[in-house]
C-alpha cells in the first residue's frame, strides 16, 4: 500500500463543483490498486476571506507543505467585487502557493481530442504542451505606484528574469521535448521589444540546445505565436515561455481545443522539495457557479497529471483514456457537472 497525503483546496465558485468530480474519478482510478489518498481539505479562497479576513495564514502554508501533492479547484470571486479589492486572493493565495512551493514549471498540455468541436475550421492534429515559467516574470509583484489617483500617476510592474530561473525551466522544457515523438521546442517571447529578458531567454535556449542535438528549436514572437495557434496549431510540440505569455497563450490553447473546461494543468516543483499543485487552467467562473453545469473535465485531467507526477502512470493513463472516450461521444449532449464526472468514472478500467 502506498499512502499519498493530498491537500485539497476546492476554492470558490465552480471550484468545489469540479473538484468533487475529480475526486470521484481519482477514487475510481485507484480503488483496489494499493494506492491510498489521505485527503486534507483546506477552506481557502474568496469565501474564506469574506468570512474570516484570512487569505493564506502561515499555519495554512505549513500544513499544506506537509502533503505530497495538492489538488486545487479555482479561487477568486467575481472580478471587480469591491469587497475583494484589498484582499487580492489571486496574488495572496494562488501565486503565493506557486512561489512558496517553488512551482517553477507550469505545465499546460493541449490535445484536440477526436470528437471535439474546435472553433477552428481545420486545426489538424493538435498535441502540444506549454511549459510556462511559474515563479518569475511580471508575476513577482516587483512594482509600485506613485501619485496614485492624480493625473501624474506612475505605475510600474517590473518583470524579473534570473539566469537561474530561466535556465531551470528551459532545461525542463528540453527534457520534455526530447521525450516526445516530434522533439520540437519553440521559444515564445518578445525579444524585439523586451530586449534584456528576451536576450537572457534566447541565450539560455541556445546554450541548452547545444546539449540536445536531438531537439529541433525555433523561436516566435508572442504576437505571431497567437496567429499560429489559430492558423496552424498542429505545428507546435513544446512551447517554453515566460509566466505572463504562458498565461495568455494557454487560455487561447484551451479555446481552440474544445474549451477552457477541458484544459488541465500542473504547477510543478520538479526537485520534489515541495508538493506540486494540480488545477484546471480555468477560474472560478462566477457566471455559471452554483448551476451544476461546469465542465469538470479539466479538473479530472489535472488528477491524471497529478498521478503521473507521483509516478503512477497506469492510473494516470486509465483516467486519460476514460476522458478521451467520454469526449469522443459527447456530441452536443448537454450534461450536468456530475453526469460528466459519473460518465468518466464509469469508464475507468472498462477499456473502451
Instruction: Kindly give the interhelix angle for 15-30 and 297-309, rounded to the nearest 10 degrees.
Output: 50
If binding is defined by CB under 6 A, does position 126 make contact with ligand NAD? no
Q: What are phi and psi of 71, to 5 degrees?
A: -115, 125
Of 207, 131, 214, the residue nearest 169 (C-alpha): 131
Our answer to whether residue 218 is catalytic in this structure is: no
222-257: burial string, b at 16+ Cβ within 10 Å, e else: beebbeebeeebebbbbbbbbbbbbbebbebbbbbb
Of 312, 283, 288, the residue nearest 298 (C-alpha): 283
Our answer to whether residue 251 is catalytic in this structure is: yes
Q: Which stretch binds ligand NAD (CB under 6 A): 111-119, 122-130, 209-217, 294-302?
A: 294-302
- Residue 288 annotated in ligand binding: yes
- In the set 68, 127, 190, 237, the catalytic residue is 190
- In the set 49, 104, 139, 172, the catalytic residue is 139
If binding is defined by CB under 5 A, does position 247 make contact with Mn ion? yes
Interacting partner of 107 out of Mn ion, ligand NAD, ligand IPM, none (Cβ under 5 to 8 A depending on kind): none
If binding is defined by CB under 5 A, does position 279 make contact with Mn ion? no
User: What residues contact 113, with CB distance under 8 A and at least 6 apart?
Assistant: 257, 258, 262, 323, 324, 327, 328
DSSP 234: G
Between strands 69-74 and 276-280, the pairing is parallel
Closer Cβ to ligand IPM, 302 or 318, answer by number = 302
If binding is defined by CB under 6 A, does position 94 make contact with ligand NAD? yes
Assess contact for 186 and 239: CB atoms under 8 A: yes
Region 73-92 residues binding ligand NAD, contact defined as CB under 6 A? 74-77, 79, 90
Interacting partner of 95 out of ligand NAD, Mn ion, ligand IPM, none (Cβ under 5 to 8 A depending on kind): ligand IPM
Rounded distance between C-alpha atoms, residue 295 and residue 73, angstroms: 12
- Residue 286 annotated in ligand binding: yes
- In the set 27, 223, 314, 329, the catalytic residue is 223
Nearest approach, Cβ of 30 to ligand NAD (angstroms)?
23
Looking at the chain, the number of H-run helices and the number of E-run strands are 12, 12
Task: Provide the binding-site residues for ligand IPM, judged by CB under 6 A.
Answer: 76, 90, 94-95, 247, 281, 283
Region 246-285 residues binding ligand NAD, contact defined as CB under 6 A? 260-261, 279, 282-285
DSSP 154: E
- Residue 108 annotated in ligand binding: yes
Q: Which residues are annotated as a binding site for substrate?
A: 98, 108, 132, 223
Give residues in contact with ligand NAD (CB under 6 A): 14, 18, 74-77, 79, 90, 94, 260-261, 279, 282-288, 294-295, 298
Q: Which residues are annotated as a binding site for NAD(+)?
A: 283-295
Active-site annotation, residues: 139, 190, 223, 247, 251
Give residues in contact with Mn ion (CB under 5 A): 247
Q: Which residues are annotated as a binding site for Mg(2+)?
A: 223, 247, 251
Amino acid at each position: 500500500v502506498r499512502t499519498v497525503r493530498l491537500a485539497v483546496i476546492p476554492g470558490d465558485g465552480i471550484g468545489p463543483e469540479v473538484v468533487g468530480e475529480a475526486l470521484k474519478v481519482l477514487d475510481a482510478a485507484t480503488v483496489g490498486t494499493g494506492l491510498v489518498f489521505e485527503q486534507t481539505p483546506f477552506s481557502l479562497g474568496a469565501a474564506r476571506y469574506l468570512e474570516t479576513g484570512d487569505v493564506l495564514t502561515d499555519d495554512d502554508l505549513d500544513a499544506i507543505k506537509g502533503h505530497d501533492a495538492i489538488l486545487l479547484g479555482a479561487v477568486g470571486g467575481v472580478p471587480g467585487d469591491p469587497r475583494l479589492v484589498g484582499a487580492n486572493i489571486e496574488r495572496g493565495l494562488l501565486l503565493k502557493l506557486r512561489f512558496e512551493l517553488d512551482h517553477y514549471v507550469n505545465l499546460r498540455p493541449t490535445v484536440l481530442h477526436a470528437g471535439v468541436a474546435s472553433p477552428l475550421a481545420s486545426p489538424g492534429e493538435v498535441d502540444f504542451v506549454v511549459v510556462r515559467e511559474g515563479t518569475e516574470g511580471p508575476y513577482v509583484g516587483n512594482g509600485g505606484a506613485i501619485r496614485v489617483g492624480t493625473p501624474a500617476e506612475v505605475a510600474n510592474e517590473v518583470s524579473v528574469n534570473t539566469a537561474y530561473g530561466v535556465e531551470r525551466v528551459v532545461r525542463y522544457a528540453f527534457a520534455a521535448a526530447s521525450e516526445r515523438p516530434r522533439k520540437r521546442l519553440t521559444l515564445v517571447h518578445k525579444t524585439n521589444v523586451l530586449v534584456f529578458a528576451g536576450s537572457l531567454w534566447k541565450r539560455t535556449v541556445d546554450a541548452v540546445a547545444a546539449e540536445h542535438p536531438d531537439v529541433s528549436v525555433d523561436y516566435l514572437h508572442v504576437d505571431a505565436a497567437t496567429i499560429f495557434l489559430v492558423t496552424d496549431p498542429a505545428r507546435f510540440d513544446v512551447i517554453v515561455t515566460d509566466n505572463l505569455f504562458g498565461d495568455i497563450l494557454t487560455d487561447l490553447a484551451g479555446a481552440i481545443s474544445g474549451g477552457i473546461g477541458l484544459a488541465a494543468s500542473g504547477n510543478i516543483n520538479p526537485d520534489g522539495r515541495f508538493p506540486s499543485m494540480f488545477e484546471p487552467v480555468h477560474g472560478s467562473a462566477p457566471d455559471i457557479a452554483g448551476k451544476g453545469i461546469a465542465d469538470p473535465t479539466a479538473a479530472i485531467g489535472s488528477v491524471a497529471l497529478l498521478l503521473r507526477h507521483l509516478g503512477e502512470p497506469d492510473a494516470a493513463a486509465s483516467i486519460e483514456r476514460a476522458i478521451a472516450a467520454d469526449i469522443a461521444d459527447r456530441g452536443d449532449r448537454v450534461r450536468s457537472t456530475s453526469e460528466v464526472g459519473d460518465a468518466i468514472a464509469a469508464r475507468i478500467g472498462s477499456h473502451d
